[in-house]
Amino acid sequence: MSLTLPANTIVTDVGGTHIRFGLWDGRQITHIEKWPVTTFRSFDEALTRYQNITGYDGKDIAIATAAWPDADGVWHFAHDGRWPIRPHTLRAHGWTIHKMLNDFQASSLGAVQSDLTPLTDIAATPYNRDCLVVGPGTGLGLACVRRTDPGDHVQESFGGHMAIGAQTADQYNIIESLTRLHGKLPVYEDVISGKGLQALYRIVSGTDDDILTILNDDETSAASAALTQTCDLFHDFLGLFIQQAAVFHHAFGGIFLDGGVTHILHNKQMLDIPKLQSVIMNIHAAPVVTDALSRMPVYVINDPFIALSGLISGTSENA
């Protein structure tokens, strides 16, 4: 199966909330559309709508999706009531599926190929080319992109489902509070995600107020003490997660931040890159390790259609 998409291939990103379509013409993506997934009763219905709008009647497609395949090759979503994606049905109707990837995998491939501006001013070149993509959103995505000469490859990952580390008494107290709150030892996703941010705010403020509503309020000017402390703790745990992921994966080529929580904090000018770097560098290790960590540029992915680009630029596939 070819890893290079032919011209006039439909590329689609089927997320938990929206479905995105575009048409790859061999040079660029055109005819981009974005719709709520609840608009459609099935993936086939959404695909037919896109064909009707564009007038495209070909049978080539590449798919990125937040769903995961079962033993029979049907891709299911974690959300109850969401329609599945059935590759065998598409093929039975004459479609050629050139690629079918997890959406975070596709976004990661697109990110490392994008022309992004780093948020860090680092003079030294990265220690190596391999990169990390970290996505705090509904969950916590993690991808290590191996920059090999034949092409980029995304190493499979379970994301933030690993035990949390702590460097300070405040961080340890948060872990203890989360253990009491959830009745189990927390993982990184329990603090670095939308639900994690809410849990941190609940512990810090002593209220059940919705922190995402507060952050999305355009009239919110000065941050409260509880909001500031919550964001500080979020950066602490995010920095620790990145530090460990970079060292474990031996990936120091750059950090690409994605995900809904990243974008909210970045838009509110509450994404503190210097603080994040200071946490990443807070490690008493061999000089070669601290040197490698100090060279990592940090980027924010601000393209909502980055997964479509990843379907084209990447060489990893699972169709």
Q: What is the pLDDT of residues 286-313, one digit of tens each?
A: 999 999 999 999 999 988 899 999 998 7
Considering all CA atoms of the chain, what is the largest pairwise distance in Å, rounded to the nearest integer? Answer: 61
Q: Which amino acid type is present at position 307?
A: A
Compute CA distances 231 → 54, 165, 223, 228, 262, whole Å.
Answer: 44, 17, 10, 5, 11
* Percent of the residues in the chain that have a pLDDT greater than 70, as a whole number: 95
Q: Is the dihedral of CA 51, 55, 58, 61 positive or negative?
A: negative
Residue 264: the pLDDT is 92
C-alpha separations of 225 from 198, 216, 228, 274 in Å: 15, 17, 5, 20
Q: Which two tokens stand for residue 41?
A: 């009763």
Q: Kindly indicate the confidence band of residue 113, based on its pLDDT and cuts at 50, 70 and 90.
A: confident
At 220 the pLDDT is 56
End-to-end distance of the chain based on CA atoms, in angstroms?
9
Residue 3 has pLDDT above 70, yes or no: no
Reported as a single tens digit per residue, the pLDDT across 38-72 is 999 999 999 999 999 999 999 999 999 988 899 99
Predicted pLDDT of residue 82: 83
What token pair was written down for 177?
């509070």
Q: Kindly tell me if the per-residue pLDDT of 318 is higher than 60.
A: no
Segment 180-195 shows an average pLDDT of 94
- Measured between alpha carbons, how far is 17 from 264 in angstroms, rounded to an integer? 17
pTM of the model: 0.86
